[in-house]
Structure 1
Amino acid sequence: MQIKESSEVYDVIIVGSGAGGGMATKQLADAGLNVAVVEAGPFFDPKDPKTMTQLKWAYDSPRRGAGTDRAFGEWDMSWGDWEVEGEPYTHEEGTEFKWWRARMLGGRTNHWGRISLRFGPKDFKGKSHDGYGEDWPIGYDDVKPYYDKTEKLIGVFGSKEGLPNDPDGFFLPPPKPRLHELFYINGAKKSGIPVIPGRLSMLTKKINEDRGVCFYCGQCGRSCSVYADFSAGSCLIFPAQKNGGKVKLFVNCMVREVTTNDEGKATGVSYINKEDRREYKLRGKVVVLAASACSTARILLNSKSKQHPNGLGNSSDLVGHYLHDSTGASAAGFIPGLMNRKVSYNEDGVGGMHVYSPWWGDHSKLDFPRGYHIEVWGGMSNPNYGFAWNPNDFNKFFGLKVGGYGDQLRDDVKKYYGSVIGFGGRGESVARKENYCEIDPTTVDQFGIPVLKFNYKHSDLEIKQAKHMQDTFEELIHNMGGEPLGEKPGKDKDYGLLAPGQIIHEVGTTRMGKDPKTSVTNEFQQLHDVDNVFITDAGPFTSQADKNCTLTILALSWRASDYIIEQLKKQNI
């Protein structure tokens, strides 16, 4: 089949338009470079009336907002899923991994929780503190200037708390706690668990003319039509285009491989156009892979040549290894004190937590090495069908006669809705070489591209951490005068530990390090083997922290972009 090759040679080709790809686009285009962005999904702008779902009621939908082909409900801007039609992935027998693929301009940043937490000094040097895993080749002080700049650029609300491993930043005013969060604060206080304002990338104050200010509709998962919350498209890519940057978008284009020349240097990428199913080649001086940790590993492993027989950047045979996701476990409780709510003010708030609990534990007294934070949910936000209030739960677990039809149903909804508080623990797992993804030699996707095969198991360390989560949640519910909703998962169910991949924080497949034999990229996320290929997603993370990874992806992408600009000026790449 004839492959059509572009005549234009771009300064930089960026694969992926999420956090890492979006930040690289902004910084490189603002520096005057000619940038091509290749995205596997369609164009998306939350301000477009054709796609805008914000401020619509559940009854505006024939399915009352229930999820059909969207994992998080019909209104959620999640054009993707753990299962994507025509794009399978496989597993080694006896293992489990759920791989989320976002398919839209802006990627996962259109529908993430927007929790923006800095990694702390200990998070970059985990092995030095507890002996597990490996230290990063960089430290907090190397990333701090980029955290500072990123927070100022995207806008993050929060408060200065002076916690040693939860560094303060440049914060906008945080919203006040809602009623269910006040109950949580009182319950946590009884157990000595700290509670501080959440740190989310939502504008509670005007920062520029391109973006509006949050008006507390609580629908950030629908993607904000006034650009008050952070998404890579609306806050990075569109401004780069508006400011005169040379940015060309190639949407609905699935990258097959990075192309190379006889010297083994990258010359561009090959992709399948989803609309005409033909293969094309783009030419570029530098290639930046930001397709997500696993997708980038897949592209590298499929980029085989005479010079790179094991896959591009894979002389160490470590591409795909050290894959790890945040740990996750949850619980919920019925709090009688929250019954019969008088709705006299707007309690929606932002689309996420107004408060949370950073890690507080003393590992010298615990049987697992890494911590977790607690995310809190509840309140009286606009529900979709099947979400937020299930009378069967009240009947089953509390012996309450709830629900029915007509007036009884309406009265019970008013009585009980908003009386449930839930908790999500999000923690750090230890990166292990034996958790990895590789190319499945027997399976291809609908575009003829070989797919990934996953081999992943939780260790006892993560399971013990989940037990601590469940014990803590049980104590918090008791402190609030509540009753647990559902049965507490035991050892036979790994204490409710979610399958790896379900938290959608996967990192580590192209980890950074100083030694090319034990790592894939250097400290600037540049392939050891190929100096004009960089990775700006979460693949280069040496370890995950007990924090969400997006803010660190953004900061490190900016840092790598500055390095690319510097190296191009010096004609080193």
Structure 2
Amino acid sequence: MDSYDVIIVGSGAGGGMASKILSESGLSVAVVEAGSDFDPALEEYRTQLRWPWESPRRGANTVRAFGDFDAAYGGWDIEGEPYTRKDGTQFDWFRSRMVGGRTNHWGRISLRFGPDDFKRKSIDGLGDDWPIGYEDVAPYYDRVDKIVGVFGTKEGIRNEPDGYFLPPPKPRLHELAFMKGGKKINLPVIPSRISVLTRPVNNERGACFFCAQCNRACQVYGDFSAGTVLVKPAIKKGNVDLYTYAMVRKVTTDEKGEATGISYVSKVDMQEYKLKARVVVLGASACESARIMMNSSSPRHPNGISNSSGTLGRYLHDSTGASRSALMPEFLGRDKYNEDGVGSMHVYTPWWLDNKKLDFPRGYHLEFGGGMRMPNYGFGFGMDSMRKYIKDEFGNAGPNGGYGAGLKKDIRSVYGATVGIAGRGESVPQYDNYCEIDPNTVDKFGIPVLRFHYKWTDHEVKQARHMQDTFEEIFHAMGAQVMGNKPGAEIQYGLAAPGRIIHEVGTARMGDDPKTSVLNKYAQAHECNNLFVVDAASFVSQADKNPTWTIMALSIRTSEYIVDQLKKKNIG
């Protein structure tokens, strides 16, 4: 079959949700994935509950970005699939070539955007407001909660909206310490909101058994991955065909500029094929969808499909990120026991301050780490630099040697005593942060690649400085010894390079005015009525929350709009 009602490019959060909603409406659907099939319940894919020594590299990240056992077939660099940078840009682009995409290994932090997050320009005058508000998206957030499952607690925080929550797991020892320290400095530390099942919700998924290896993808489907929770069930119910190893070149169009389908290169035989459809839905990730649209030039779309505004690829932005580590002296030499929990944090801190009283415009949330998870490759490295924080019973630093029995003793003492905090914040979208087609470079499939231009502004640098001050304040309040020197202005206070937090959004943003946006408020292309985008490319701004929950909520909204428009014969 080479003709469908709908073709969906990408099988991650947005594409996966679209496959569920559209197929259940009775439409015939093709899901086109650039990578391989993947099902963590099958032995051929399983990495969960494997010992580090089962890997020839002891789990090191020489093959996969986060280690051999991480459920991500890809990374920031993929052989034969380059991207380029200009003007000193340091942007890094993470791609997962597999069914479910990056939802197989993400942290599963599942936060709703709040009312303020859709209207930031009205608050601080920067960027642009979304053409929709929280009230437009709230019903779809509710449905995501019920379809996927998320634990948490109702807190009544206005811009951190509550949802339909499963019971949260109890805090672990290091998290209790963060809660204690937070209370001393009036910092809220509340149960996290994570898409992991703490109790069964249906007969097809098991509940979490607390191995803390969600990044390896769950063999009982206890955590959320788009492949296991959305795409595979949709395939089983019928109406969905899955195409793997299919690298999409472009959206094909007719003489009127309407989409007719897609053209893709098979990674199996390196031949080019075409699929036809009444509607094309892009969910390949913010940058990949923009790349496909820019490569889809035609007489009707000379600068790329739906790009007469010139904003396709513009306003690219990622979450800000900075982090710091510390040692809890009272945890040194602690008893060893299984405290794994879920594969993410059990508590976190939502943004708690008023930016009007600060010197930067947007907020951030805090993520807390620590505990006694299974050591992996690299654990114990850097002990020489850590010894100055370790005291013996007489108060002397560095009691043991740098190798042999002394090193083992130090490592055993430190295991479970280190803690960390990461800040994840909102950046202000900038027209001059963008991706474009590199006119001189193609990938191994002959498809022109992306070239990135991205610079942090003073807003993000000042936010990172505030993060570092906050980290130290919390550590001191909880009795921890901060390790290492505080990052200074010369390295932007430890601000991670753009792309490193893997929350890129905004390359085909929605808006009411076709002169300044690519999509309308339903994520429908302004200049191609039967083309839609269901990943984070449509975002006007990021918020200080992870984007996945909003991607899925908007995907439901867009998918049901597609069904409605097909019934009314306005498209297709």
Shorter-chain TM-score range: over 0.9
Aligned to 1:394: 386
Aligned to 1:358: 350
Q: Deviations over 1:214-258 (max 9, x none)?
A: 00001001000000000000000111122x231111101100000
The CA deviation at 1:190 is 1.5
Give, in whole Å, the separation in 2 of the partners of 1:459 and 1:406: 48
Q: Deviations over 1:512-544 (max 9, x none)?
A: 000000110011000000000000000000000
**Contact 2:534–2:551 (Cα < 8 Å) also in 1:** yes
Whether 2:53 is the aligned partner of 1:51: answer no
Give, in whole Å, the separation in 2 of the partners of 1:58 and 1:69: 14
Whether 2:364 is the aligned partner of 1:384: answer no
**Which of the residues 190, 198, 210 maps onto 1:196?**
190
Aligned to 1:10: 4
The CA deviation at 1:388 is 6.9
The CA deviation at 1:167 is 0.3
Aligned to 2:176: 182
Give, in whole Å, the separation in 1 of the partners of 2:266 and 2:389: 52
**Which of the residues 302, 311, 314 maps onto 2:307?**
314
The CA deviation at 1:341 is 1.1
Aligned to 1:302: 295
**Contact 1:392–1:402 (Cα < 8 Å) also in 2:** no
User: Cα 1:543–1:112, aligned 2, differ >3 Å: closer, same or farther?
Assistant: same
The CA deviation at 1:389 is 6.1
The CA deviation at 1:58 is 1.1
Give, in whole Å, the separation in 1 of the partners of 2:379 and 2:539: 35
**Contact 2:508–2:539 (Cα < 8 Å) also in 1:** yes
The CA deviation at 1:310 is 0.8
User: Cα 1:397–1:449, aligned 2, differ >3 Å: closer, same or farther?
Assistant: farther
Aligned to 2:452: 454
Moved more, 182-191 or 511-520: 182-191
Amino acid at match of 1:486: G
The CA deviation at 1:393 is 3.2
Amino acid at match of 1:547: K
**Contact 1:341–1:414 (Cα < 8 Å) also in 2:** no
User: Cα 1:103–1:10, aligned 2, differ >3 Å: closer, same or farther?
Assistant: same
The CA deviation at 1:400 is 2.2
Give, in whole Å, the separation in 1 of the partners of 2:340 and 2:387: 27
Whether 2:90 is the aligned partner of 1:93: answer no
Aligned to 2:74: 80
Give, in whole Å, the separation in 2 of the partners of 1:315 and 1:79: 35
Aligned to 1:443: 441
Give, in whole Å, the separation in 1 of the partners of 2:171 and 2:380: 19
Give, in whole Å, the separation in 1 of the partners of 2:401 and 2:100: 41
Aligned to 1:4: none
User: Cα 1:146–1:307, aligned 2, differ >3 Å: closer, same or farther?
Assistant: same
TM-score (norm 1): 0.97
Give, in whole Å, the separation in 2 of the partners of 1:407 and 1:212: 43
**Which of the residues 329, 339, 363 maps onto 1:336?**
329
Give, in whole Å, the separation in 1 of the partners of 2:188 and 2:411: 32
Give, in whole Å, the separation in 1 of the partners of 2:491 and 2:409: 37
Amino acid at match of 2:546: N
Aligned to 1:133: 127
Give, in whole Å, the separation in 2 of the partners of 1:312 and 1:34: 24
Describe the SS at the equivalent of 2:428: coil
Aligned to 2:209: 215
Matches within 5 A, 1:474-513: 474-513=472-511
Whether 2:251 is the aligned partner of 1:258: answer yes
Q: Deviations over 1:441-499 (max 9, x none)?
A: 01111111111111100000000000000000011111122221111100111000000
Give, in whole Å, the separation in 2 of the partners of 1:353 and 1:10: 42
**Which of the residues 238, 247, 265 maps onto 2:240?**
247
Give, in whole Å, the separation in 1 of the partners of 2:254 and 2:424: 43
Aligned to 1:3: none
Amino acid at match of 2:315: Y
User: Cα 1:137–1:403, aligned 2, differ >3 Å: closer, same or farther?
Assistant: farther
**Contact 2:150–2:164 (Cα < 8 Å) also in 1:** yes
Give, in whole Å, the separation in 1 of the partners of 2:452 and 2:262: 25
Give, in whole Å, the separation in 2 of the partners of 1:388 and 1:429: 35
Matches within 5 A, 1:31-50: 31-50=25-44
Amino acid at match of 2:341: G
Give the gaps of 5 or more residues in structure 1. Answer: 1-6
Give, in whole Å, the separation in 2 of the partners of 1:34 and 1:154: 23
**Contact 2:119–2:129 (Cα < 8 Å) also in 1:** yes
User: Cα 1:403–1:88, aligned 2, differ >3 Å: closer, same or farther?
Assistant: farther
Amino acid at match of 1:51: Y
Describe the SS at the equivalent of 2:321: strand
Give, in whole Å, the separation in 2 of the partners of 1:339 and 1:506: 39
**Contact 1:37–1:248 (Cα < 8 Å) also in 2:** yes
**Contact 1:393–1:485 (Cα < 8 Å) also in 2:** no
The CA deviation at 1:68 is 1.5
**Contact 2:52–2:376 (Cα < 8 Å) also in 1:** yes
**Which of the residues 521, 524, 527 maps onto 2:522?**
524
The CA deviation at 1:408 is 3.2
Q: Give the paired residue count.
A: 565
The CA deviation at 1:407 is 3.9
Give, in whole Å, the separation in 2 of the partners of 1:458 and 1:571: 45
**Contact 2:130–2:540 (Cα < 8 Å) also in 1:** yes
The CA deviation at 1:567 is 0.6
Give, in whole Å, the separation in 1 of the partners of 2:559 and 2:69: 34
Whether 2:465 is the aligned partner of 1:471: answer no
**Contact 2:384–2:402 (Cα < 8 Å) also in 1:** no
Describe the SS at the equivalent of 2:536: coil
The CA deviation at 1:364 is 2.1
Describe the SS at the equivalent of 2:169: coil
Aligned to 2:136: 142
TM-score (norm 2): 0.97
User: Cα 1:133–1:267, aligned 2, differ >3 Å: closer, same or farther?
Assistant: same
Whether 2:59 is the aligned partner of 1:65: answer yes
**Contact 2:327–2:389 (Cα < 8 Å) also in 1:** no
**Contact 1:394–1:401 (Cα < 8 Å) also in 2:** no
User: Cα 1:320–1:403, aligned 2, differ >3 Å: closer, same or farther?
Assistant: farther
**Contact 2:84–2:450 (Cα < 8 Å) also in 1:** yes
Give, in whole Å, the separation in 2 of the partners of 1:521 and 1:212: 38
Amino acid at match of 1:441: P
Give, in whole Å, the separation in 2 of the partners of 1:455 and 1:64: 36
Q: Percent identity?
A: 61
The CA deviation at 1:27 is 0.5
Aligned to 2:394: none
Aligned to 1:549: 547
Moved more, 383-392 or 366-375: 383-392
The CA deviation at 1:186 is 0.9
**Which of the residues 523, 536, 540 maps onto 2:534?**
536
The CA deviation at 1:158 is 0.3
Q: Deviations over 1:294-327 (max 9, x none)?
A: 0001000000111111110101111000000000
